[in-house]
Structure formats: C-alpha cells, structure tokens
Structure 1
C-alpha cells in the first residue's frame, strides 16, 4: 500500500513530498539531518475541526498527550481542544505550562506515586483514580496540604470495545476500578474531604468498526446513567473515552464519523440524567496520527540472495510501532513512499525490504514493498506517524544518533 494513493493529506512539490510548506530536503536543512519526524499544523487543525463539526455540540473534545507529547505540538493543540489528559507528572507540567486551565486537565494511569498525587493536588487538576488506595492517598495528602483533591473515578466496565487495537476494559484489567465495586465505594466516600468530579469510562482504542463503537457508546451511556443514579453528589462530567481509530494497513479505510455522531446525538437525547453534565470524548491517536511523517534516508543498498535491502539511517529505535514491535501480533507495513520520487510512485517499481541501521532482524521499516528504484540518498517517508512515535520508541538503543522533531 502506498499511503499517498489512499490515505495521506500531504501535498507534493513537484517530485518531493511536502509537509507544511517545506519539502523533505528543506526540512533536513532546518533540523540538520535525518532521521526526523515532521508534523503538519494544517492537518492537525483540519482533523480537529472536522471532528468537531461531525460530533454533537454537547461533546467536549480532550487531547490525550501520551499520543504525542512533543511540546510545540501540545502548545499548538491547546486552543483547538477543550482539555488535556495526562499520564505522568511530566505531561501534567507540560499541559499546565501550555496555558490549559487546570480545571480541564485530568491525570490517568494506574501507578501514580504519592509525589504524582501531591503535585496534581497542588496544581488543581483532576485525578482519575484507578484504585481505592489511590483515592485514600489523595484524601490523606489533601489533608496534609489543606487542599481538597479533585477526584474522578476511572471505571473498568464489564464490557469491552470489540475489535479494538488495545482492549482497556472488560475482565481483569490493571486500569480503573471494576464497575461492580463502585456502589460500595460511592456509599463510603467522605465527600467533605474531596471534590468529586465524575467518571472516566474507557473501553478500548484504535477501532475502525462502526458497529463496535456504537455498541460501546450505548453501553457507556447506560453505565453512566446508573452511576449518576447512585452518586450522592452532583458531578461535573462523564469522560466517555475515545476508541476512534485511524487506518494504517492495506484494506483499512478512514472511519465514517456520521453514524457514530448520529448515535451519540440519539443517546444524548435519550439519557436525560446527563443533560447538565459535561460529556468528554478523549482522543489521542485520532487527532494527531495522520499529521506526522517519519523520514529517514537510504545509506546503503545491498542484495542478499533473493532479497534487495535498502538500509536507512533510522529504524525501530525511532519508530517502534512501525517496526511491528509495539502491539502487532503479525507484522504489517505502515504506508511508505520514496519522499523525493513522488512523481514515480506509480511507475516501474521493484520489491525491496527497507531496514534500519541496528544489528537486529527486528529493525524493519517496510518488508517486501513495491517502491520506485531506490538510490543511496533517497528519503523513505513513513506515513501515519504522528502518534506513538518518538516518545514510544527506545531512542537510546545501541546509542544511535539523536532524532529530530519539527512542527510545520
């Protein structure tokens, strides 16, 4: 699959791929060398605005910083969304320093330390508590600081998001508190010692199945209504999670938002108990994944028996997900192109395996793909690389040169 044919919103400048208003060679001059990630502001803006136009007005959109914590990108996203979700104290500081209101920042994750909780309480953000121990720690630390902690409870629902890339709910999970435990917890909470803000119901991620997403939302709203009915105080919000996927592999297409949005509108109308409560959709990959390209350069071409290898200066240490070692059971290629030969993508091609510089057979950029005849110095562009790229990769592995990032 060649991404420029079916997936990518990036432009071409004659024969070179163009990101923002710069070609790949111009970007290399800006950052100093390959490999690099380049992110397109216009695509980020268009993705967010298109989603807002599709979704019911009642839905507030939050960005999960874990998908891409590159500071310029986070700062760019701040005015585009209504809030941030963070997964560490470092991400929390990044969110606060972007100018986002602490009231619109939530902190999720099952392993928050006492220092994390203390920092969150001082900052005034909301802790998405994932255990009764965490709730008690927050209350105790709040007493020490004479500050009421802002707390919401992350729920591990009994249902899961079917066909999701990562199942985050249903059955035994380290995330959240099982929904059947919630009634007794709500009955025992001392609401004088905390600001109880709501619930986070997150069932799964990276889903392209409309029916599965609709079913998840139906079950999420039903659960939210039950939770509200047994909560003795007024809550501020329900975070319904995300789950919306983007296409990566051959045969996948972009998610049709219309039926998802129509179903949400129906659910909002049906569940009157939610009429005075903010409804948050928290997304990461969906907002930023298609706005990024990972670029490396061919440094050698060699033949080994029946296979032609193009060896690049970047690989799995920069883009672990693309290598197939970040959740794939059977490795599949991300969409790739020869970034300086865009006019030749549909011309005569050859079968080539593109690899990185590391001394491991796991370092694969693209396996047995059809590309225009490669030469040393060509740019290999990997699309759909805006999420879980640089920050999700072992950049220190084998002490290779550092990676660059740029927002254009």
Structure 2
C-alpha cells in the first residue's frame, strides 16, 4: 500500500508527531473538539486535485464531479464554486445537487435503473442531460416529456464492443447491465431521432473504474471518439456532447502507483490534434466525470483505540469505528481478498513502527476489520488511528445503522479551521423514520 509518510508529505504535514491537515489543523485537536470517530477532508487537497485534472485535460474538456463518490453538501458546493458541473445517479443525488445550488442545466443523470418517478422528478425540475441505458428507458423519458410538454436532452450510454483493459471494474466488451451495447445503436438512434419530445445530444462512454494506467484511459477516449464518428455518420451532424466518464484512480494497495498524468496529458493532446481538425466534432462539448480522483486523497477516517488485547499470540487494537462507517476500508466493498488501506497512528506519525497488529472495530462480526497485520508504533488506549485515501466511497457507501452505532460526523478543514459540516448521528436518528 502507499506509505503513510509519503501521503503525509504529499498532501498534509505533521506537528510534533501529530498529523496536520490544511495549514494548522492538528488531528488530535479535531478529535478533542468533535470526538471520534469522524471523517475529515482537506479543502487544499480538493483544490490541488482539481488543478491537476485541469492541467491534464485538453482545453476542450469540461468537468462534472461524480456525486456518488462523496455527496457531502460542502464538497458539492466546493466543486460548483470552482466551475464544475455534477453527475448524478439517482433522484436523491439530484435533490442533493440542487440543494447545493447546482443549476439544472449543469447536471447529467446516468444509471441503469432510473425509475419513472425519478425521471419525472428531474424532467419536471430541469436537467442538463439524461444518459439513457435501454430502449425502455428512452420510451419512459419520451412519455414523461410528452406529458410535461417538454423537449428532453438525451444521450446514450454505450457499452463498447471492445473491452478496455486495466480498470479495477471493467464494463466494456462483456455482457453488462450498464448502457446500450454498441452493436444496438442502429436500433436505438432512430427511436430518439424520430420522437419530437427528445433531442439527441451525444454519447456517454464508461468502461472501467480505478484506472491507474494512463494508456488505458487514452485508449478508452480514443474508442469513444471512434464510436462518436460512427454516430455522426448515421445522424449526419456533429454530436453536442461526448462524456468520457470517470475512472481516474488513486493508489490504495500494494505496489500501486499514482496515475501518470504527464503521460496521460501527452496522450490526450495527441488525440485532440486529430479531433480539432475533424468537422465531425465541430462544436462538440467534451466532458469527464471523475469522483474518486478529486476527493479520495483529501479524506482521512479517524478512530480512537478503546482497547488492546492479545489472543493466542496475536495483538488486536480495538477502535471505536469500523466497517459500519467505512465499508471499503474493511474490504467488504468490492474486494475479493481483503487488502489494507494506508493506515497509521496519526498522533504518532514520527515514531518508528515496532509491532504487527490487527485493527478491528466494535461490531460483533469478524468482517469488522480495518487493517490486518499492519506495522505500527507502540500504542496505548486513546491513540488515534487514521485510514488515509478515505475521501471517496466512505461514509455514504457504508451500512451506517448496522448494530445501531451512531453515524460519524464529517469535518472540513479550510486552511487552519476545522468545521463540522455533517453532524454526528444520534440514537433518535435510528427510529426517526419508523411508523
């Protein structure tokens, strides 16, 4: 896994052996003020990652932050203020996007199971594009649009015939519930083109997540351009939009290395030299919708050691947080074999690691393991464990009510100030929606 010391040097700092976020926000002070466990995000890292993304992309690209990665309101507002749009995958995410102040025309809606209620909700209130994923969905959009007497902007999410290798989750070339198979475009396109309540916008291509190989992303974008050219031939006009999806990864495990954005920028610029001179793309807006790449490295999940025990020669650190708050770190969110996120004792980051331990949560299930066989300094009850790379797919991707523990607060550090942006859950929350 990436070394915690390297992550601290790259994104954060330390003061007297204590992790510091932003300019002067010590993690032990945050823990004293708000209690543990909690998620904390550094706004400076959000800005750094957005700057890297913009520097890497050719000038023709716009950015829509993928809400599913982390829908915290303050994070949505942060990216909106920075000029990004938002990509959503549910009616609930649409609600959160609008609450954050996003104009409807800056929202795109993808997802394989959009319900009629969700479609009516977003179409009634305004939406930039809906990325359709089946003939039935296109028919539902058309029916609702006719009832509302509105013309709806529709793009097609395409499942390519060729698999783009290298992503942790691949969605191209194989049978998948996502998108429309490329070979069915001849059937799908006329359904949209012939309907007076639908306006065909373009293409959404997405074939993988957690991609760390720049060549895979370049190949994916090149494939998208190729499919777009074929669509342009069929409709005899340029597309208005091409959405290349997300998929930009960050390193978590083993020997994973950062995405080589320098080589990626070079590859995309070569591709764009071809596209810029092609009338098939005159006026076409290109876009990406990253989530993890923008927020993942900004976040740390902090939990406190409540007990230390040895069982048959193995040492366990028991902490007050666990898989119910951070399912991904426990290995139960997409991993076949449990691998450790970068984990450290964040009030002792300068001390040398001396002992091998398992770090486990408070739940009465063997699944509640944040780290197995990790080397840490000598610890005592009360020390703070930090799980790095926790800004994406953390709190809202976890079973927060499992065993009825309270949900963790979220803290945003801006420069030297740490502010709670989502309150800690209460026992009342657990029965609030009971009838």
- Fold match by TM threshold 0.5: yes
Q: Does 1:358 align with 2:363?
A: yes
**Alpha-carbon distance, 1:188 to partner:** 3.5
CA-to-aligned-CA distance 1:144-163 (integer Å, 9 cap, x gap): 11111221111111123312
Distance in 2 between residues matched to 1:333 and 1:132, nearest whole Å: 42
Distance in 2 between residues matched to 1:378 and 1:2, nearest whole Å: 22
Output the TM-score relative to the length of structure 1.
0.96
Distance in 2 between residues matched to 1:231 and 1:374, nearest whole Å: 66
Distance in 2 between residues matched to 1:269 and 1:49, nearest whole Å: 22
Q: Does 1:213 align with 2:220?
A: no
Contact 2:156 2:204 in 1 (8 A): yes
Distance in 2 between residues matched to 1:155 and 1:123, nearest whole Å: 26
Distance in 2 between residues matched to 1:53 and 1:379, nearest whole Å: 36
Q: Does 1:7 align with 2:7?
A: yes
SS at match of 1:358: coil
Contact 1:169 1:175 in 2 (8 A): no
Structure 1 gaps, min length 5: none
Task: Name the CA shift for 1:290/1:348 in 2 (closer, same or farther; >3 Å).
Answer: closer
Distance in 1 between residues matched to 2:272 and 2:195, nearest whole Å: 28
Question: Which sits farther off after the overlay, 13-22 or 335-344?
Answer: 13-22
Match of 1:406 in 2: 411
**Alpha-carbon distance, 1:220 to partner:** 1.8
Output the TM-score relative to the length of structure 2.
0.90
Match of 2:111 in 1: 109
Q: 1:186 aligns with which of 161, 182, 189?
A: 189
Distance in 1 between residues matched to 2:210 and 2:252, nearest whole Å: 10
Match of 2:400 in 1: 395
Match of 2:45 in 1: 43
**Alpha-carbon distance, 1:171 to partner:** 1.3
Contact 2:344 2:385 in 1 (8 A): yes
Q: 1:25 aligns with which of 25, 28, 37?
A: 28
Match of 2:254 in 1: 250
Distance in 2 between residues matched to 1:151 and 1:116, nearest whole Å: 15
CA-to-aligned-CA distance 1:47-83 (integer Å, 9 cap, x gap): 1012211221111111100000011111111122431
User: What is the RMSD computed on CA atoms of the aligned residues?
Assistant: 1.5
Distance in 1 between residues matched to 2:237 and 2:107, nearest whole Å: 21
Structure 2 gaps, min length 5: 414-435
Query: Where has structure 1 moved over 6 Å in runs of 4 or more?
Result: none
Match of 1:73 in 2: 75
Q: Does 1:158 align with 2:165?
A: no
SS at match of 2:201: strand
Q: 2:140 aligns with which of 124, 134, 137?
A: 137
Match of 2:430 in 1: none
Distance in 2 between residues matched to 1:263 and 1:77, nearest whole Å: 26
Q: 1:374 aligns with which of 379, 389, 412?
A: 379
**Alpha-carbon distance, 1:23 to partner:** 1.4
